[in-house]
Amino acid sequence: MPRGSKDKYTDKQKRKAEHIEESYENKGVSENEAEARAWATVNKQSGGGERSGGSGKEKPPTEKKTDRKESARRAAKSREGHPRTSKASHEAQTVDNLMKEARAKNIPGRSKMRKQELVEALRKAG
């Protein structure tokens, strides 16, 4: 069963989740799994509960959508091994990831460098 209170959801979102849940159950998915998938779908489509309250900050739907897309883009980049924008992130990467980045920036002598040397060379390369 999904976690948390559904008080922050509008009636329309609740109806939508119920409809999606019934659809999954008709396809043979268990009741708990169908409910979890239904709420996940509603959250994906609308960005969560739309009633006021909670954090005290309300974002317009377009800004929520932009934030979701940006978050997904950053997550995909992280999975591909690309560093975050922080310069400190070089130390957190593996030698293989540093080597790939050095290869992409065409840093000479990279194959004989140790990790710290790669980090310094990447910082200098910008």
Higher pLDDT, 3 or 44: 44
Asked if 59 and 70 count as a contact pair (C-beta separation under 8 A), the reply is no
Chain-centroid distance of CA 75 in Å reads: 5
Can you list the alpha helix ranges (DSSP code H) found in the chain?
A: 11-26, 31-46, 61-79, 89-92, 95-104, 115-125
Side chain identity, residue 104: A
pLDDT digits (tens, 9 = 90+) for 54-94: 555 677 888 888 888 888 888 888 888 776 655 557 777 88
Asked if 87 and 101 count as a contact pair (C-beta separation under 8 A), the reply is no
Q: How far apart are CA 42 and CA 48, in angstroms?
A: 7
CA-to-CA dists, residue 6 to 10, 15, 21, 27, 36, angstroms: 9, 12, 15, 25, 12
Coil/strand/helix, residue 13: helix
pTM score, whole prediction: 0.40
Q: 98-102, 104-108, 122-126: lowest mean pLDDT where? A: 122-126
pLDDT, average across residues 11-38? 90
Domain boundaries, the chain: 8-49, 76-126
pLDDT at 18: 92
pLDDT digits (tens, 9 = 90+) for 34-63: 998 988 888 888 777 666 655 556 778 888
Q: What is the pLDDT of the chain when averaged over all its residues?
A: 82
